[in-house]
């Protein structure tokens, strides 16, 4: 059967080489968080690892000696919902996507039992990136349906590691959800936080379109072309939104263990509205602070920590943003608690913005400016330019027809107040008007802000337009008049308000 041998050898050699884990580092390596992890033979009675389903993380080991830890993980092939009304046959470690979270301590001797449910169709195995040894355990855990494999490894390196199935074809096993995380705690444990959560991204390839209803099959063609139908956190659209959002209160510390199972895409992990105080890049020992978006490679993981300060919903996304809004990569962290207006005010102002600087409005203004520069400025130029400028700025309160809003914004149309002293309007435009005025028999007591963002030309044109509209007395205000008022003089002879 030599022909068989050669084919098999070709399949694997390069892949197996890539699977060999990095040897343990010295105690002085990195920032001191990595230690040569062999603390000798296991002590005490064997411990059965607590496994949790996402988004939960098992409790800290709180242990200060190396133990023998037994991990029982069952592979289950099952149909689950990938999106509302869309089902997919997932292959899972422990019945969930991602698989059960495993937590051990550096130096522990892990006795791993991989069980392949008898109802399953496929053989499976497991490659844990936290294992030092060829294949990461894959070779020793190849298991037929209805069988159980056992192998043992010493967790030499602390960190957060991906595990996944490595049975041929690897890509398909991974694409069907066969990945999860194993945390190897440093000997001193991780700093205490209020919440730890488990989130893992993966890309999925279904025969139907995004959200096409019914049972969807795996599409190898799309997978090879790296055109995912879904990009998801925790294996299903909506797995971490609505009632299933993860939660915290204000002024708490949150640690997220973020993995990326792939099979293809790299994640630009971002939490909208939060800044990561601390990130362990790629799950390694270097700690990066003040991070907005962290890159999580396929087959990699990171832990991110931040303090919640402002209540509300924080949306977690893959910031390759079409994945978030068109392929499902959305999750929510809901933070409850008291507002802190000094950090974030919420909405303080909602005013109409009509885009007064947009180009179509500016034609008449440009013409007037050019005419003024050439000494050919006519009243009509001024009125035309003023109309356009009025529409963007003044009409918000005084309305497009100059009528204002009775009792709130005084009218400019047929205004006795304006007619009494037309040039007083220059001062009002430049400096605002604060306090009681009576216009056409109605009393107004509100605030007009200074319009000093407008230049002299613009104010002259606006006021000329107003004076020549809606039954007002007419006349012209020139740039020079405005300049004088701005410079400190008044041509209006003082205001009466």
Residues of the shown chain interacting with other proteins in the complex, contacts defined by CB under 8 A:
1-16, 19, 77-79, 89, 118-123, 125, 127, 134-135, 138-139, 142-147, 166-172, 217-218, 220-221, 224
Q: Are 83 and 238 in contact (CB under 8 A)?
A: yes
Residue 240 burial (C-beta neighbours within 10 Å; 0-12, 13-18, 19+):
buried
Tokens of 121: 């169709």
**CB 33, min distance to other proteins, A:** 30
| Residue placing its CB nearer to other proteins in the complex, 78 or 431 | 78
Three-class secondary structure of residue 264 per DSSP? coil
Phi/psi at 493 (5° precision):
70, 35
CB-nearer residue toward other proteins: 137 or 186:
137
* Closest separation in Å from C-beta 174 to other proteins: 9
Cβ neighbours of residue 350 under 8 Å, at least 6 residues apart?
A: none
Positive or negative, the CA dihedral 221, 223, 227, 231 is positive
Nearer Cβ to other proteins (89/491): 89
- Taking each helix axis from N to C end, the angle separating 379-393 and 456-467, rounded to the nearest 10 degrees, works out to 100
In terms of CB distance, is 135 or 402 closer to other proteins?
135
What's the number of CA atoms in the CB half-sphere (13 Å) around residue 387?
Answer: 13
**Minimal distance, residue 141 CB to other proteins, in Å:** 8
CA 467 to chain centre: 52
Give the list of residues 6+ apart from residue 293 with CB closer than 8 angstroms, or none.
Answer: 268, 269, 270, 319
User: What residue ranges in 292-340 does DSSP mark as E strands?
Assistant: 293-296, 300-307, 312-318, 330-336
The smaller minimum CB distance to other proteins, of residues 263 and 402, is found at 263
What's the closest the beta carbon of residue 114 comes to other proteins, in angstroms?
12
Q: Whole-number minimum distance, CB 83 to other proteins, in Å?
A: 16
Q: How far is the CB of 184 from other proteins (least distance, A)?
A: 22
To the nearest whole angstrom, how small is the minimum distance from the Cβ of residue 300 to other proteins?
Answer: 18
Closest separation in Å from C-beta 235 to other proteins: 15
Closer to other proteins by CB, 7 or 447: give it: 7
Q: How far is the CB of 220 from other proteins (least distance, A)?
A: 6
Residue closer to other proteins by CB (options 89, 455) is 89
Using only C-alpha atoms, what is the Rg of the chain?
34
Residue 109 to residues 52, 143, 187, 412, Cα–Cα distance (Å): 20, 21, 13, 85
Which is nearest to 135 in space by CA: 109, 106, 167?
Answer: 167
* CA–CA separation, 150 and 112 (whole Å): 5
Q: Please say which residue, 3 or 353, places its beta carbon nearer to other proteins.
A: 3
- Residue 299: name the closest of 459, 453, 156, 127 by CA: 127
Toward other proteins, which CB reaches closer, 74 or 196? 74
């Amino acid at each position: 059967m030599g022909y068989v041998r050669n084919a098999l050898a070709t399949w694997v050699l390069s892949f197996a080489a890539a699977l060999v884990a990095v040897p343990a580092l010295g105690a002085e390596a990195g920032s001191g968080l990595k230690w040569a992890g062999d603390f000798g033979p296991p002590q005490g009675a064997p411990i059965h690892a607590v496994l949790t389903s996402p988004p939960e993380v098992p409790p800290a080991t709180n242990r200060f000696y190396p133990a023998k830890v037994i991990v029982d993980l069952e592979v289950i092939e099952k149909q689950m919902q990938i999106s509302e009304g869309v089902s997919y046959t997932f292959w899972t470690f422990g019945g969930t996507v991602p698989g059960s979270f495993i937590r051990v301590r550096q130096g522990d001797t892990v006795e791993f039992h991989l069980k392949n449910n008898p109802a399953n169709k496929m053989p499976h195995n497991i490659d844990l990136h936290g294992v030092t040894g060829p294949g990461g355990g894959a070779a020793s855990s190849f298991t037929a349906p209805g069988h159980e494999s056992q192998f043992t490894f010493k967790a030499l390196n602390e960190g957060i590691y991906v595990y996944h199935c490595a049975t041929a074809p690897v890509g398909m096993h991974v694409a069907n959800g066969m990945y999860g995380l194993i945390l190897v705690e440093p000997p001193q444990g991780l700093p205490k936080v209020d919440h730890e959560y488990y989130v893992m991204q993966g890309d999925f390839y279904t025969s139907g379109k995004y959200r096409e209803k019914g049972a969807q099959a795996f599409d190898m063609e799309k997978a090879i072309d790296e055109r995912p139908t879904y990009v998801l956190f925790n294996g299903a659209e909506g797995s971490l939104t609505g009632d299933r959002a993860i939660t915290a209160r204000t002024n708490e510390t949150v640690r997220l263990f973020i993995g990326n199972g792939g099979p293809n895409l790299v994640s630009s992990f971002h939490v909208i509205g939060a800044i990561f105080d601390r990130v362990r890049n790629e799950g390694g020992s270097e700690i990066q602070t003040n991070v907005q978006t962290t890159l999580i490679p396929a087959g990699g993981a990171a832990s991110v920590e931040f303090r919640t300060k402002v209540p509300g919903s924080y949306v977690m996304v893959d910031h390759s943003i079409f994945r978030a809004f068109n392929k499902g990569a959305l999750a929510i962290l809901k933070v409850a608690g008291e507002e802190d207006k000094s950090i974030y005010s919420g909405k303080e102002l909602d005013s109409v913005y009509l885009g007064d600087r947009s180009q179509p409005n500016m034609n008449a203004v440009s013409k007037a400016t050019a005419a003024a520069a050439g000494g050919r400025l006519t009243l009509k130029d001024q009125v035309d330019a003023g109309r356009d400028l009025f529409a963007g700025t003044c009409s918000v309160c005084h309305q497009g027809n100059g009528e204002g809003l009775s009792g709130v914004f005084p009218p400019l149309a047929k205004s006795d107040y304006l007619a009494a002293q037309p040039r007083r309007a220059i001062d009002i435009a430049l400096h605002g008007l604060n306090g009681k005025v009576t216009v056409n028999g109605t009393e107004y007591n509100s605030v007009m802000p200074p319009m000093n963002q407008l230049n002299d030309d613009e104010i002259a044109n606006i006021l000329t337009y107003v004076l020549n509209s809606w039954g007002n007395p007419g006349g012209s205000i020139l740039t020079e008049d405005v300049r004088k008022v701005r410079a400190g003089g008044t041509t209006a002879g003082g205001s009466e308000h």
